Structure 1
Amino acid sequence: MTDDHSPQGAGYPHDWDPVLVGRFIMRHATRVPQATAIVAHGRGHTYAELAAAAESYGTVLRDAGLQHGDTVAVCMEPGFESVSVLLACSEAGYVFVPLNADQPVSRIADICHRIDARMFVVGPGSSLSAVDARELASRSAMAQEDTLTLHGPPMAGQRTGRLVLESDVAYVIFTSGSTGAPKGVTMSHRAAVVALRAITHGCDAYPRLASVAPLGFDFSILDTVAALGTGGTVFFVPRQVTMHPFRLLEYLRDHRIQQLHCVPTLMQVLLTHCGTRLAELTELRRIVTGGEEILVPVLDRLRKVLPGLEFTIMYGQTESICCTFGHVPNPIPATQRAIPLGSAYPGAELLLLDNHGARITEPGVTGELYLRAASLFNGYWQDPETTARALVPDPQRPHSGELLLRTGDLAVLGPDGLIFAGRRDHQVQIYGNRVELGEIERCITAIPLVREALVTAHQEGPAHRLIATVVTDDELRGDSTRIRDHCRTHLPAYMVPAQIQFVDNLSYLPSGKLDRNAGDAG
């Protein structure tokens, strides 16, 4: 991007522009301007239309008086409008803050207050009324642009004229925090583009890609880049469709989707409710999944219905977008009980360290994963204490000044690479033994007819009592003895759940991930 304050005669070419998130997304726009870029809300939009809309929205935001670095809160379902605003913010140097369309007003208000939102944008699918939006922003409506309503005050003052640089903050994604308050993951253009470049190669997208992620989940940006960054088309599946398995099946079938990005839980839901009807997805070639551990039985069941289906496992955190990719073999070897995390993309290194910061090279030893990469986030928005717990000095080279992401994920080194072994914060002590709840869940889900399992630990005096909440087929429902006997065969006695409870469904977060806190009421 050029600017009146750019240095002249410094020896740099005039077209030496920064690599920004928006420009990376639109790098194929001039090559295929009339190709369909986005399908959402029943309409298709070309790359040329997307570029024009981004320029139009950028003009509206600039005319409103926004300054470089101002935050723009955006509440809507993902689609043409949300991507256009993202592009507009990227080009002008504003900070894009996406919010789920169906979030409670109180949560949106809290986030807007914390980021000092200078503009609040409401678009398609938002459950907020105009009154809600005006009250949230504490401002009056000031502009209407197609299907977007912008709320904010006329902002006086001379524009600063600062350059838009790769080091600028591109967006802030709010995730659940351990304290109950959402954490704002602050990502620069530079860090995001490093990961997004890896995604366009690691995913190697088919032309027709479906996204089911809500706007406030970073998978939405990832999906957009995986499709548009390769010149393809992203289909944003409406939320009301995603929530109904049969309607989702019909959408994927009727739109001839070739690649689906989703969390593993959604794959399980489709299998449970649609079963052999998934064979109707004759165009589907690949599923890219991440955000949760993927279980071998689920992959096996999917491939029985869709034998040629490819699976790409993508591992990473919002704090780095992604860091590894792995392609699942077909068929999966009979002896393989877990899917490796895959290999770090070039320029990233995933380290397995023990409690003293030493590298673990011995198979079967559990350690914590640390990430070295240029794609690491800046920190949590206005939360230096939490940031310092996540971005830590390199335990092996503490004086280098380099910061690593302490992921909180546990893993072991298996014959085919790193195997996910749960979360540090899901560990409990049982009779002095360190227990990872995910290991018990994996043991239970290995039982035929078990669909899902959630294990929680409840404090009873000085000890924990383990409770397993299980979703099964009717034949196994209520048979807690069979489940407990299986656990006794494969786990130490202290890891066998004291109680088994059966439910029809587990609870899920808006991102589609399993809601682990929902089991705490047991």
Structure 2
Amino acid sequence: MRAASCGRTTTGSVVDGRRRRSRICVRPGPAKHGERMLTSREWPSCSSAPLTRMMSLGDILLEGALQHGERTALWADGVRLSYRELVERAARLAGTLVAAQLAGPARRCAVLGARSIGAFTGVAAAALARSAWVPLNPRHPAERLAHVAHAAEVDALVIDEQSDALAGELLARLDRPLHVFLPDRSSPPDWARRLPQHVFLCRGDLAPPVLDGLGGGRPDDGAYLLFTSGSTGAPKGVLVRQANVMAYLASAFDRYRPTADDRFTQLFDLTFDLSVHDMFLCWKSGGALFCVPDRARMAPGEFVRRHDLSFWFSVPSVAMIMARLRMLQPDALPSLRWSLFCGEALPRRIAEVWAEAAPNSVVENLYGPTEATIAITAFRLPANPAAIARLPEIVPIGAPLPGQQARVIMADGAPAVTGMDGELYLGGSQVAEGYWRRPDLTVERFSPPADATEPPRWYRTGDRAMVSEEHGLIFLGRLDRQIKLGGHRVELQEVEVALRRAAATDSVAAIASPLDSLGLPKGITAFVTEDSLDSEAILAACRATLPPYMVPFRVYRVAEWPVNDNGKTDYAALRRMTE
């Protein structure tokens, strides 16, 4: 549904977003796959339920302004925005993009900000303008951000108030002329004078908030372009289209049935595609999105209770930290009715503790790489604590969402039978078309199983998995040297590329270490030759080019570099040095 102007929005019944719900929540029935999970070859290939008549994320925003005008859409930085206010702010940016002929599916708008009002407004503006947004994390080095902005061929950049200084460093590295939006400022910063190749637009330069011509679009329009760690040393991009993300949202909306009374956590950086679930599942329902402050991000229990939140979504690492801090006592989080985890392996013992802490919520473990749009499989934990205790040590990842497919393929190309492991392939309407401007990688990774006839797109995940008749898919780790840290995908080869530059030597290595009690990585350990540069200098150089989660926490200096029979680095020998 399309709104012609803000004047047509209707007013909701909640003025402060603090409506209270009953603490007693009815647990939904079992997932559709029932008590016995079908094997991957038996999973049906049904279509997802349509998400009303809307075709795009921009239409979700317009519908929200029309149906839920004065209800709370977003709480961030201690500031509350109604649906009307959020869409009005975004429409001013989007209208200016349209006037500058920088809107539409062929355009990309970068957003530099960290879970702020300005950053969320930038995302909403790109969606209204039918442009793909490209999130830039202000905690990443300027060099890396410049690489992403250049590779994405962005036309515009929205900067939030907290990222001014970094923006100057970033824009100084970009020769491509950009329209730079500073909606929180009345005038450009001093450094803008040194960058005449860019056009700077502040609060007073923006168009009025007229909604005519915004939203709409086609299913094959780009929604967002994310860059993940790459094995060659450069991040690789994935363009997720409207059809991909709307297919996911249709399944999620049907599965979780959110309402306008729900309150959602927002814990993910915008460079993490799980943030798209937070924003648009919430805004489709008319609910309120609560951006957890950075100071409470790794221990948000009190924030959840104070704001009476009902939808939880995080990586398991957050729950692990809360458990270590003894924040997951029984009935500690009674307001939650859904508890979703994704991004890394979920240990069963954490799931058990969480189920006791949030007794009124249904707990699910989701799985999905960026290439398959947010999450593509799900496993619902049983309500019975005794049944949870019988699960594997790592909670299963379950069955594909409606309309999607998953197959486990053995090394010889044959489908794995129940109980056998192999590489996990994903197919369906959520799978992206390939890597941005990388046809070589696309051919390598977006290839179907040998016997596949439908769907037309498949993705080889590089993950090891097996099929259990009782639990569906079981995640067994990686086939290559990619690891997960705090939900972030990390190619250890990319870390090694940075180490070679930093240490001025070719003999470097990076491993996942230390490991926790389940063998899951907690950090990265680096190895260099004894005659390399000073270890502190190496780490400082890594911090200048790598995101914080990819910087090694320790450097070992090796006198005699270990090699195996093939003359390659003996990673097992290096690991023994840390034990």
**TM-score, normalized by the shorter chain, greater than 0.5:** yes
| Larger displacement relative to structure 2 (137-146 or 217-226) | 137-146
Which of 120, 140, 147 does residue 103 from structure 1 map onto? Answer: 140
Contact 1:25-1:224 within 8 A present in 2 as well:
no
**2:379 matched to which residue of 1?**
326
Aligned-residue offset at 1:276: 5.0
**2:234 matched to which residue of 1?**
181
Over residues 42-74 of structure 1, what are the superposed CA-to-partner deviations in whole Å (9 max), with x where a residue is unaligned? 111111112212211112222334153122111
2:427 alignment partner AA: R
**2:335 matched to which residue of 1?**
283
**1:266 matched to which residue of 2?**
318
Cα distance in 2, alignment partners of residues 111 and 165 from structure 1: 25
Aligned-residue offset at 1:119: 1.4
Cα distance in 2, alignment partners of residues 291 and 96 from structure 1: 21
**Superposition pairs for residues 340-379 of structure 1, below 5 Å?**
340-362=396-418, 364-379=419-434
Change (3 A) 1:517 1:390: farther
**1:204 matched to which residue of 2?**
257
> Taking structure 1 as the reference length, what is the TM-score of the superposition?
0.73
Aligned-residue offset at 1:513: 12
Aligned-residue offset at 1:41: 0.9
Contact 2:366-2:379 within 8 A present in 1 as well:
yes
Count of residue correspondences: 431
Cα distance in 1, alignment partners of residues 549 and 467 from structure 2: 25
RMSD, aligned CA:
3.7
Aligned-residue offset at 1:360: 2.0
Aligned-residue offset at 1:419: 0.9
Cα distance in 1, alignment partners of residues 437 and 380 from structure 2: 38
Cα distance in 2, alignment partners of residues 426 and 332 from structure 1: 36
Change (3 A) 1:274 1:26: farther
Aligned-residue offset at 1:192: 1.6
Query: What SS is found at the alignment partner of 1:56?
Result: helix
Cα distance in 1, alignment partners of residues 339 and 54 from structure 2: 33
Cα distance in 1, alignment partners of residues 303 and 267 from structure 2: 11
Contact 1:76-1:122 within 8 A present in 2 as well:
yes
**2:514 matched to which residue of 1?**
469
**2:88 matched to which residue of 1?**
52
Query: What SS is found at the alignment partner of 2:444?
Result: helix
Aligned-residue offset at 1:309: 3.9
Query: What SS is found at the alignment partner of 1:319?
Result: helix
Aligned-residue offset at 1:128: 3.5
1:101 alignment partner AA: P
> Taking structure 2 as the reference length, what is the TM-score of the superposition?
0.66
Aligned-residue offset at 1:226: 2.0
Contact 1:214-1:220 within 8 A present in 2 as well:
yes
2:475 alignment partner AA: F
**1:73 matched to which residue of 2?**
110
Query: What SS is found at the alignment partner of 1:381?
Result: coil
Query: What SS is found at the alignment partner of 2:407?
Result: strand
Change (3 A) 1:344 1:147: farther
Query: What SS is found at the alignment partner of 1:282?
Result: coil
Cα distance in 1, alignment partners of residues 53 and 328 from structure 2: 51
1:200 alignment partner AA: F
1:220 alignment partner AA: S
Identity %: 25
**Superposition pairs for residues 430-509 of structure 1, below 5 Å?**
469-470=514-515
Change (3 A) 1:465 1:209: closer
Cα distance in 2, alignment partners of residues 520 and 295 from structure 1: 29
| Larger displacement relative to structure 2 (24-33 or 138-147) | 138-147
Query: What SS is found at the alignment partner of 2:326?
Result: helix
Q: Check if 1:32 corresponds to 2:32.
A: no
**Structure with greater strand share of residues:** 1
Aligned-residue offset at 1:116: 2.3
Aligned-residue offset at 1:420: 0.8
Over residues 408-453 of structure 1, what are the superposed CA-to-partner deviations in whole Å (9 max), with x where a residue is unaligned? 11111222211111111159xxxxxxxxx99xxxxxxxxxxxxxxx
Contact 1:203-1:312 within 8 A present in 2 as well:
no
Aligned-residue offset at 1:21: 2.1
Aligned-residue offset at 1:198: 1.6
Q: Check if 1:409 corresponds to 2:454.
A: no
Aligned-residue offset at 1:468: 6.6
Cα distance in 1, alignment partners of residues 247 and 436 from structure 2: 21
Change (3 A) 1:223 1:276: closer
Query: What SS is found at the alignment partner of 1:186?
Result: strand
Over residues 179-232 of structure 1, what are the superposed CA-to-partner deviations in whole Å (9 max), with x where a residue is unaligned? 231111111111221112222223434701111101111111111122112221
Aligned-residue offset at 1:25: 4.9
Query: What SS is found at the alignment partner of 1:425?
Result: coil
Contact 1:209-1:227 within 8 A present in 2 as well:
yes
Contact 1:380-1:387 within 8 A present in 2 as well:
yes
Change (3 A) 1:261 1:25: farther
Contact 1:32-1:47 within 8 A present in 2 as well:
yes
**Superposition pairs for residues 149-298 of structure 1, below 5 Å?**
153=198, 164-205=217-258, 207-243=262-298, 245=299, 248-276=300-328, 279-298=331-350
1:177 alignment partner AA: G
Cα distance in 2, alignment partners of residues 339 and 223 from structure 1: 22
Change (3 A) 1:251 1:519: same
Q: Check if 1:383 corresponds to 2:438.
A: yes
Cα distance in 1, alignment partners of residues 289 and 92 from structure 2: 22
Cα distance in 2, alignment partners of residues 271 and 215 from structure 1: 25
Contact 1:390-1:406 within 8 A present in 2 as well:
yes
Contact 1:91-1:164 within 8 A present in 2 as well:
no
Cα distance in 1, alignment partners of residues 181 and 513 from structure 2: 52
Cα distance in 1, alignment partners of residues 241 and 186 from structure 2: 26
Query: What SS is found at the alignment partner of 2:366?
Result: strand
Aligned-residue offset at 1:329: 0.9
1:404 alignment partner AA: W
Over residues 79-104 of structure 1, what are the superposed CA-to-partner deviations in whole Å (9 max), with x where a residue is unaligned? 44333322322232322101112211
**2:55 matched to which residue of 1?**
19
Cα distance in 1, alignment partners of residues 274 and 305 from structure 2: 22
**Superposition pairs for residues 118-133 of structure 1, below 5 Å?**
118-126=155-163, 128-129=165-166, 131-133=168-170
Change (3 A) 1:393 1:413: closer
- Larger relative contact order (CA 8 Å, sep ≥ 6): 2
**2:183 matched to which residue of 1?**
145
Aligned-residue offset at 1:401: 8.9
